[in-house]
Amino acid sequence: MNITVDVNELNTEFIVKLKGEIDAYTAPKLRESLFPISERDNVKITIDLTEVSYMDSTGLGVFVGAFKSVRANNGEFTLVGLSERLRRLFDITGLADIIDIKSGTEGGLE
Q: pLDDT tens digit string along 49-105?
A: 999 999 999 999 999 999 999 999 999 999 999 999 999 999 999 999 999 999 765
User: Pairing between strand 13-22 and 76-80?
Assistant: unpaired
Q: Is residue 110 over pLDDT 50? A: no
Report the pLDDT averaged over residues 38-52.
96
Determine the pLDDT at residue 105: 55
- Annotate 79-100 with b (16+ C-beta within 10 A) or e (fewer): bbbbeeebeebbeeeebbeebe
For domain 3-102, which architecture applies?
2-Layer Sandwich (3.30)
Determine the pLDDT at residue 108: 46
- Domain residue limits, the chain: 3-102
